[in-house]
Amino acid sequence: MEKFKIPVIPQTTNKCVRFPNNIIADVETAIRGKECTFTAFVIEAVRVALKNLEEADSG
């Protein structure tokens, strides 16, 4: 399984997504003091989740 790492800010397209307040707070705590935006963190989390699903389906 691939290890999650906080990414550098990627180029993005604007998308509106609602998050529970506690998830927002947890992400903001995780990225505090790092060169990472909320959006970049979420994109990396989704990328890793998709890769994990692909690996689970092929295994």
Q: What is the per-residue pLDDT across 40-55, written as a single tens digit (0 to 9) for each?
A: 899 899 999 999 999 9
- Confidence class for position 29, pLDDT limits 50, 70, 90: very high
Q: With 80 as the cut, is the pLDDT of residue 59 above it?
A: no
Mean pLDDT for the chain? 90
Per the structure block, which two tokens stand in for 13? 């397209």
- Give the pLDDT score at 10: 67
Look at residues 44, 43, 45 and name the one whose alpha carbon lies nearest to residue 14: 43
CA gap 55, 25 in Å, rounded: 30
For residue 13, pLDDT beyond 70 = yes
CA distances for 7 relative to 21, 34, 40, angstroms: 22, 10, 6
Distance CA 31, CA 39 (A): 11
